[in-house]
Amino acid sequence: MIRVGVAGWDYPDWGGIVYPAPAPRGFDRLSFLAAYFDAVEINSTFYRQPDPKAARSWASRVSSKGSFQFTAKLFQLLTHAPTGSLASRDRSATAPPAALDLRAEARTFLAGIDPLREAGRLGAVLMQFPHAFHDRPRSRAHLETLAGLLPGLPLVAEFRHRSWDNEAALAFLRDLGVGFCNIDQPALGATLPPTAHATSRVAYVRLHGRNAANWFAPREDAGARYDYFYSPEELRSWVERTRSIAAGAEEVFVIANNHYRGKGPANALMLRSAVSRQRVQAPASLVAAFPYLKEMADPVETREREVPRQGRLF
């Protein structure tokens, strides 16, 4: 099954483009998106550990959305910790302190995300590694450690460096039961090029945009980094790759992360229509902002009485 969605939902700059503006009191952005997509990636769990109460709220707010699934990014301390001290899987009392902390963080993540898993709404956990995480023995040892500390989770690894695009690395992931995240990003230096790999029952595609000028910008300029809109011609190759990936995986998640001013939702709906070969529905304001959508999407006017209301937790 191919699911198409977006990365995150709490973007003020989507007001008037994706979401109604002004938003009615209590407007629930998550439930609103779930009416148009069958997957959403939770990116807040990368910056802070998931809160079980928040996870229960997320599951509750999509309870009427059929087979809707979340994916969640793994907490950054687990993916960005120095790998030199994490190469051993030794569970003894003599293990490095960093490894002991890693286990504690893994337990916290498992507890925090468990409500989504219990609700049957957790489709994948994305381990996003930095560009400096190259395919080398200590990196593979770190991956093996994480897989051991996070049993039962549908893990997917996202690499930014092209060293991971080789058959030995793919075989290593297959043996671990870890999926491969195929990405679209600016072609700079040794960045990973577009691929179509499937190494577990869960496969992943992430579209980051091709804003080369701002790709390595500081975190505070992340909005500019993801300011990119894919044309139908640029998406066409990903439609074919997605179908190819689906032939080797049970679940494929395609997530648009080029979120700046609604570009991600627009591209995700364009890709969803192309992959399914069917017209889709889209917020009327989004169709107005991105005329390309007129060829493949039916605009839906948002009426206040139909606007989903938000619970107490974000």
On the question of pLDDT at 39 being above 60, the answer is yes
Neighbours of 277 (CB within 10 A): 8
Whether 84 maps to a domain, the answer reads yes
| Residue ranges making up the domain that contains 84 | 2-306
The confidence score (pLDDT) of residue 59 equals 97
The confidence score (pLDDT) of residue 218 equals 72
The confidence score (pLDDT) of residue 312 equals 44
Q: Which residue has the tokens 């032939």?
A: 247
Whether 311 maps to a domain, the answer reads no
The confidence score (pLDDT) of residue 125 equals 98
> What pLDDT digit, counting tens, does each position of 108-130 carry?
999 999 999 999 999 999 999 99
Q: With bands split at pLDDT 50, 70 and 90, how would you rate the model's confidence at 66?
A: confident
Whether 314 maps to a domain, the answer reads no
**According to the 3-state scheme, what is the secondary structure of the chain?**
CEEEEEECCCCHHHECCCECCCCCCCECHHHHHHCCCCEEEECHHHHCCCCHHHHHHHHHHCCCCCCCEEEEECCHHHHHCCHHHCCCCCCCCCCCHHHHHHHHHHHHHHHHHHHHHHCCCEEEEEEECCCCCCCCHHHHHHHHHHHHHCCCCCEEEECCEHHHCCHHHHHHHHHHCCEEEEEECCCCCCECCCCCCCCCCEEEEEECCCCHHHCCCCHHHHHHHCCCCCCHHHHHHHHHHHHHHHCCCCEEEEEECCCHHHHHHHHHHHHHHHHHCCCEEEEHHHHHHCHHHHHCEEEECCCHHHCCECCCCC
Whether 262 maps to a domain, the answer reads yes
The confidence score (pLDDT) of residue 227 equals 93
Q: Mean pLDDT score of the chain, rounded to an integer?
A: 91
How much of the chain exceeds pLDDT 70, in percent?
A: 89
On the question of pLDDT at 148 being above 50, the answer is yes
Q: What is the mean pLDDT of residues 168-193?
A: 96
Q: What is the mean pLDDT of residues 149-162?
A: 97
The model's pTM is 0.91
Whether 312 maps to a domain, the answer reads no
Q: How many angstroms separate the CA atoms of 314 and 312, rounded?
A: 7
The confidence score (pLDDT) of residue 306 equals 53
Q: Which two tokens stand for residue 231?
A: 């044309």
> What pLDDT digit, counting tens, does each position of 196-240 carry?
999 999 999 999 999 988 887 776 666 788 999 999 999 999 999
On the question of pLDDT at 276 being above 80, the answer is yes
Whether 12 maps to a domain, the answer reads yes
Q: Which two tokens stand for residue 105?
A: 């963080």
CATH code: domain of residue 41: 3.20.20.410
Whether 281 maps to a domain, the answer reads yes
Q: Which two tokens stand for residue 224?
A: 């500019």
Q: What is the mean pLDDT of residues 130-146?
A: 96
Q: How many domains does the chain have?
A: 1
**What does residue 189 show for φ and ψ, rounded to 5 degrees?**
55, -120
Whether 313 maps to a domain, the answer reads no
